[in-house]
């Protein structure tokens, strides 16, 4: 396989057919002093303003509470991290804005209004707005003087966003659009000052995007939705009845709204992935505190192997997801700078970079949300009965986490999107999957390589496993496409199997590269627990790939083809044994000793 270099990293999905170097990554251990100060500012804000008010936030008895907390976040500059300085923001790089998202992932329901406003509610104007729109709205969005909401979903248009029925008709004087329709599940609806609304103009095939000010005539809404979790976030249905929207409030070009929506969702997906890391670290910290304090049979429950197993796997999966999050953020920032050097305007460069790494953004949304679900579930289990009680410290997190597998496109839709985008890249010729796929087919009929040269180096075996897992993905995808052709798009189970293979490859590789770079910075002894995490996750990922691969192969292959694919799977999914129990115990003991997530 080719090696990704500084010159060609800006290719989404390329990780499947290339090998990356640790030098190509940014890892969280490399945060500079300014970024650490930003992190501490966020953490202090959450501990002093959010945690003491969680019950009040969730009760929603004071409708001004969350908006006032957003105002305070705006005063600290936390709402304008991604907004350029000329519009009153800080113009921070992409990973720094991701760090803010991660930190607020521990703020329970407050993370929803925070990211809905500073992310998907602001970015359509930031990336696609006119100079006049940016000058008018961005400074006030940066401070929180204006709050924003993103209005895409409708009763009959969820995953199929372009099926929305909200219509915009040009007024008789041709100075306004008259908007009619309904939006639902709109975060921040109860207090937002401006609404980013998607609607079709006349009989257009694709959506357009509009800025609708809250005070406009014809805007009404239902009462707050009653939800399983994130109770402190405002969620309402919004109705538009002959709502007049000035023509200058059209965002981008007519019919460009669907493209805007998809690109903004890409940002929302990766930001959600970052937030799940913060939420998982909170669940781990609360579990560690309880495991050290709660005694059974005369000793703290953290003494027991079953609890150590849980704590170590929570930390390992979180650390792996974090590696993939900031790897992707770094790639996006590099792509932005590369496109700017080519002469592209900054806003266009950012849009192009997000579109380029849409596959990775979807991977992080799926992986992060399922990782967090695992962590909060284990946190409840570690706490036992008190974990199930609403008076305990982890029940709220358990309920709040569940929405993440639905937000920003369900995980099922995102799995389908991952493979669809990969195939489209191959069909357009921007990603050569055919050459490596054909090479894998030829390899299946060759004698296996039994060489061990250079395999004493750190992670040499694991990197070989990663290469083979990539071959597994190419083998199955190639065989499925040859067998099913255009019918593959209707075989959602197979597509989701392939997505599971792909996301585990990306996350496992991200973790291996992160730890390899860390060892280069701190040395082997100082990184021993992270090295164990890499070994643990490789075995975990391989088991997930093996299961998904078998299910996919069984679904379409038979006879000689079935036997050949299973032989190939056996060849490509070998891994050296490792004492995972001892590795997990060492990680858990380090966590328990520090009494906090320490990686």
pLDDT tens track for 534-585: 999 999 999 999 999 999 999 999 999 999 999 999 999 999 999 999 999 9
Q: Quick one: pLDDT at residue 449?
A: 64
Q: Which two tokens stand for residue 148?
A: 């924003």
For the chain, give every domain's residue range: 30-147, 150-251, 430-586
Half-sphere exposure of residue 586: CA atoms within 13 angstroms, side-chain side: 15
Is the confidence at residue 256, as pLDDT, over 60? yes
342 has catalytic annotation: no
Q: How far apart are CA 278 and CA 115, in angstroms?
A: 13
Q: Quick one: pLDDT at residue 248?
A: 95
Q: For a pLDDT cut of 90, what percent of the chain falls above it?
A: 85
Q: What element of type H or E holds 270?
A: helix 257-293
Q: Quick one: pLDDT at residue 9?
A: 55
Q: Is 441 exposed, middle or buried, given 0-12, 13-18 or 19+ CB atoms closer than 10 A?
A: middle
Place of tokens 């080519």: 342
CATH superfamily of 430-586: Butyryl-CoA Dehydrogenase, subunit A, domain 3 (1.20.140.10)
Nearest Cα to Cα of residue 407 among 160, 159, 162: 159
Candidate from 81-90, 182-191, 437-446, 516-525 with smallest mean pLDDT = 437-446
Q: How far apart are CA 98 and CA 424, in angstroms?
A: 28
The predicted model gives 8-26 an average pLDDT of: 84
Q: Quick one: pLDDT at residue 156?
A: 86
Q: For a pLDDT cut of 70, what percent of the chain falls above it?
A: 97
The whole-model pTM stands at 0.94
Query: At CA 242, angle to CA 239 and CA 245, rounded to 5?
Result: 95
The predicted model gives 363-391 an average pLDDT of: 97
Q: Quick one: pLDDT at residue 442?
A: 85
Q: How far apart are CA 317 and CA 325, in angstroms?
A: 12
Dihedral sign for Cα atoms in the order 9, 14, 15, 19: negative
Q: Are 87 and 145 in contact (CB under 8 A)?
A: no
Q: Quick one: pLDDT at residue 4?
A: 44
Q: Are 309 and 374 in contact (CB under 8 A)?
A: no
Q: Quick one: pLDDT at residue 438?
A: 87
Q: Quick one: pLDDT at residue 2?
A: 46
Is the confidence at residue 450, as pLDDT, over 70? no
Confidence at 102, pLDDT banded by 50, 70, 90: very high
Nearest Cα to Cα of residue 184 among 127, 215, 225, 218: 225
Q: Are 376 and 394 in contact (CB under 8 A)?
A: yes
170-198 CB burial, b ≥16 within 10 A, e <16: eeeeeebbbbbbbbbbbbbbbbbbbbbbb
Q: Quick one: pLDDT at residue 437?
A: 86
Is the confidence at residue 191, as pLDDT, over 90? yes
The predicted model gives 161-182 an average pLDDT of: 92
Q: Are 512 and 466 in contact (CB under 8 A)?
A: yes
Nearest Cα to Cα of residue 283 among 245, 247, 314: 314
The predicted model gives 135-156 an average pLDDT of: 95
What SS3 class is residue 409? coil
Maximum pairwise Cα distance, the chain: 81
Q: Which of 8-22, 105-119, 420-434, 449-463 has the highest mean pLDDT?
A: 105-119
Q: Quick one: pLDDT at residue 24?
A: 86
* DSSP string covering 397-413: HHHHHGGGGTTTS-HHH
Q: Can you name the CATH fold of 150-251?
A: Butyryl-CoA Dehydrogenase, subunit A; domain 2 (2.40.110)
What SS3 class is residue 184? strand
The predicted model gives 4-12 an average pLDDT of: 57
Catalytic residue (one of 408, 462, 504, 516): 408
What SS3 class is residue 416? helix
Q: Quick one: pLDDT at residue 481?
A: 92
Nearest Cα to Cα of residue 81 among 39, 28, 18: 39
Q: What element of type H or E holds 484?
A: helix 460-484
Is the confidence at residue 514, as pLDDT, over 50? yes
Is the confidence at residue 447, as pLDDT, over 90? no
Backbone angles phi, psi at 408, to 5 degrees: 55, 35
Q: How far apart are CA 364 and CA 249, in angstroms?
A: 33
The predicted model gives 50-66 an average pLDDT of: 94
Dihedral sign for Cα atoms in the order 587, 574, 435, 419: negative
Confidence at 7, pLDDT banded by 50, 70, 90: very low
CATH value of 30-147 in 3.40.50.720, 1.10.540.10, 3.40.109.10, 3.90.700.10: 1.10.540.10
Q: Quick one: pLDDT at residue 5?
A: 43
Mean residue pLDDT of the chain comes to 93
Backbone angles phi, psi at 193, to 5 degrees: -90, -30
Q: Quick one: pLDDT at residue 588?
A: 98
């Amino acid at each position: 396989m080719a090696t990704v270099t500084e010159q060609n990293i800006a290719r989404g999905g390329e990780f499947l057919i290339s090998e990356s170097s640790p030098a190509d990554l940014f890892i969280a251990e490399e945060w500079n002093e300014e970024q650490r100060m930003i992190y501490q500012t966020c953490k202090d804000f959450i501990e002093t303003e959010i945690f003491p008010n969680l019950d009040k936030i969730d009760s929603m008895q004071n409708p001004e509470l969350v908006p006032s907390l957003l105002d305070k976040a705006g005063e600290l500059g936390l709402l304008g991290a991604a907004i350029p300085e000329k519009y009153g923001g800080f113009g921070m790089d992409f990973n720094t804005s991701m760090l803010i998202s991660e930190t607020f992932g521990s703020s329970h329901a407050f993370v929803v209004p925070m990211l809905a406003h500073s992310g998907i509610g602001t970015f359509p104007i930031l990336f696609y707005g006119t100079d006049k729109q940016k000058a008018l709205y961005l400074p006030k969005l940066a401070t929180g003087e204006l709050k924003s909401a993103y209005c895409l979903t409708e009763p009959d248009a969820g995953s199929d966003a372009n099926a929305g029925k909200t219509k915009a008709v040009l007024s008789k004087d041709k100075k306004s659009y008259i908007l009619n329709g309904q939006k639902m599940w709109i975060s921040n609806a109860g207090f937002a000052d401006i609404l980013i609304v998607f609607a079709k103009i006349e009989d257009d095939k694709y959506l357009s995007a509009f800025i609708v000010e809250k005070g406009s005539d014809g805007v009404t809404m239902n009462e707050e939705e009653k939800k399983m979790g994130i109770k402190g976030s405002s969620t309402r249905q919004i109705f538009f009845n002959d709502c007049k929207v000035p023509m200058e409030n059209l965002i981008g070009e007519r019919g460009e709204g669907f493209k805007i929506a998809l690109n903004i969702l890409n940002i929302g997906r990766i930001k959600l992935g970052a937030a799940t890391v913060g939420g998982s670290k909170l669940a781990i910290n609360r579990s560690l505190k309880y495991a050290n304090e709660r005694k059974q049979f005369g000793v703290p429950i953290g003494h027991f192997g079953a609890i150590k197993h849980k704590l170590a796997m929570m930390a390992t999966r979180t650390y792996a997801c974090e590696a993939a999050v900031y790897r992707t953020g770094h790639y996006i920032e590099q792509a932005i700078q590369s496109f700017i050097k080519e002469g592209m305007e900054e806003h266009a460069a950012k849009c192009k970079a997000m579109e380029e790494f849409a596959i990775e953004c979807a991977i992080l949304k799926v992986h992060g949300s399922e990782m967090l679900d695992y962590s909060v579930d284990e946190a409840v289990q570690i706490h036992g009965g008190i974990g199930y009680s609403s008076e305990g410290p982890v029940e709220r997190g358990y309920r709040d986490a569940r929405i993440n597998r639905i937000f920003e496109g369900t995980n099922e839709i995102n799995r389908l999107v991952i493979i669809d985008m990969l195939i489209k890249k191959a069909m357009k010729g921007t990603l050569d999957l055919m050459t490596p796929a054909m090479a894998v087919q030829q390899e299946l009929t060759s004698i296996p390589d039994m060489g061990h040269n250079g395999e004493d180096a750190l992670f040499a075996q694991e990197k070989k496993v990663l290469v083979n897992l990539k071959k597994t993905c190419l083998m199955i995808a190639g065989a499925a496409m040859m067998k099913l052709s255009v019918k593959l798009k209707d075989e959602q189970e197979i597509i989701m199997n392939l997505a599971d293979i792909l996301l585990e490859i990306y996350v496992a590789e991200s973790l291996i590269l992160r730890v390899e770079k860390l060892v280069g910075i701190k040395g082997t002894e100082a990184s021993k627990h992270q090295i164990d995490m890499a070994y643990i996750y490789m075995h975990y990922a391989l088991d997930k790939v093996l299961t998904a691969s078998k299910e996919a192969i069984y679904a379409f292959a038979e006879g000689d083809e079935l036997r050949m694919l299973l032989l190939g799977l056996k060849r490509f999914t070998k891994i050296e044994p490792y004492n995972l129990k001892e590795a997990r115990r060492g990680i858990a003991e380090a966590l328990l000793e520090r009494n906090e997530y320490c990686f």
